[in-house]
């Protein structure tokens, strides 16, 4: 049976930037192997399949696949799928509409606030569905540098050191000295396996405080070759864990803290992720991820 699909660029206000996402509608009759095959066919960082919700209080159930496997949660598929469903199922009145899209994901229920305005890209934001935990011990700097094609003195800045966090996925957070070092990063498979794969790391999130855009707080790159993602233009799920990195090393005081993360610059797909952190009595209480989404294409799967 033919199935409609849409392509969105997420974490960008302009088409052909951000992180591209495929969303396949009415996918209830597809088997898991069929979903995986379709995700490989699109060959994007993630493909979302929209199904009927199991609870009447939810908008839809969604399943998320990388080219190589299904994952329980990811940021840009959550935001992009919610933006699309808001546009298709809750049309704007007089060009404006605010909606709450409740998605059933393997990680649990995620509620996404969507703002639609005429002539503007949809904007969405959601609270992190789970709190990542600090786990394990990171590799030695020499081993990490070797996996990234860098030398040890190109890693780290100020008091920031590599950290491993596990939430819906396990991310290694690696501070990089500056933009020049960031531009030289190359995955070195032999060293990568020892530094990251053998430690069950799903993705490696590199960040530096030097930025290309004046409004950005951090510049980031994310590599997940073990998930079939050579490099990701924008990674909302990793940004959730990054909030804990910022809180730990930057010693955030109580209150609400806003940061903008730029990503995808080296790929020619500039992205902007809004990160809002609330600290109460010294503890990180809530993490909110936000960004824009643009619908760029639609079509039909025939086989």
Enumerate the active-site residues. 46
- Eight-class DSSP state of 91: -
- C-alpha distances in angstroms, 60 versus 30, 81, 173, 270? 16, 10, 32, 29
Give yes or no for a contact between 224 and 232, defined as CB atoms under 8 angstroms apart.
yes
d(CA 272, CA 219) in angstroms, rounded, equals 10
Q: Say which residues have a Cβ less than 8 Å from residue 269's Cβ, sequence separation at least 6.
A: 9, 12, 16, 17, 18, 19, 20, 233, 234
How many alpha carbons fall within 13 Å on the CB side of residue 195?
26
Give yes or no for a contact between 238 and 205, defined as CB atoms under 8 angstroms apart.
yes
d(CA 48, CA 35) in angstroms, rounded, equals 9
Q: Which residues pair with 149 in a beta bridge?
A: none
Tokens of 56: 């009447």
* DSSP H/E element including 37: helix 32-42
251: left (phi over 0), alpha (psi -120 to 50) or beta: left
């Amino acid at each position: 049976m033919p199935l409609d699909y849409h392509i969105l660029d997420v974490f960008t206000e302009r088409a052909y930037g951000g992180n591209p996402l495929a969303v396949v509608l009415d996918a209830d009759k597809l088997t898991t192997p069929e979903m995986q095959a379709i995700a490989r066919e699109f060959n994007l960082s993630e493909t979302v399949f929209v199904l009927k919700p199991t609870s009447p209080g939810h908008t839809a159930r969604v399943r998320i696949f990388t080219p190589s496997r299904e994952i329980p949660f990811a940021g840009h598929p959550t935001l992009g799928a919610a933006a699309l469903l808001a546009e298709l199922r809750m049309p704007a009145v007089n060009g404006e509409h605010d909606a709450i899209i409740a998605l059933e994901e393997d990680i649990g229920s995620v509620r996404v606030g969507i703002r639609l305005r005429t002539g503007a890209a949809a904007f969405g934001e959601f609270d992190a569905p789970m709190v990542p935990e600090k786990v394990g011990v990171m590799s030695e700097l020499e081993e990490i540098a070797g996996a990234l094609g860098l030398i040890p003195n190109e890693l780290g800045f100020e008091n920031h050191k590599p950290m491993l966090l596990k939430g819906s996925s396990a991310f290694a957070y690696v501070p990089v000295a500056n933009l020049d070092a960031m531009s030289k990063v190359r995955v070195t498979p032999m060293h990568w396996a020892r530094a990251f794969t053998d430690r069950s790391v799903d993705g490696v999130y590199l960040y530096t405080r030097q930025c290309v855009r004046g409004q950005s707080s951090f510049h980031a790159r994310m590599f997940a070759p073990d998930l079939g993602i050579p490099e990701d233009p924008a990674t909302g799920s990793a940004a959730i864990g990054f909030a804990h990195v910022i809180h730990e090393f930057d010693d955030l005081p109580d209150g609400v803290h806003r940061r903008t993360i730029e990503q995808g610059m080296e790929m020619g797909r500039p992205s902007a992720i809004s990160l809002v952190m609330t600290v109460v009595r010294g503890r990180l209480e809530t993490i909110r991820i936000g960004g824009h989404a643009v619908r760029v294409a639609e079509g039909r799967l025939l086989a």
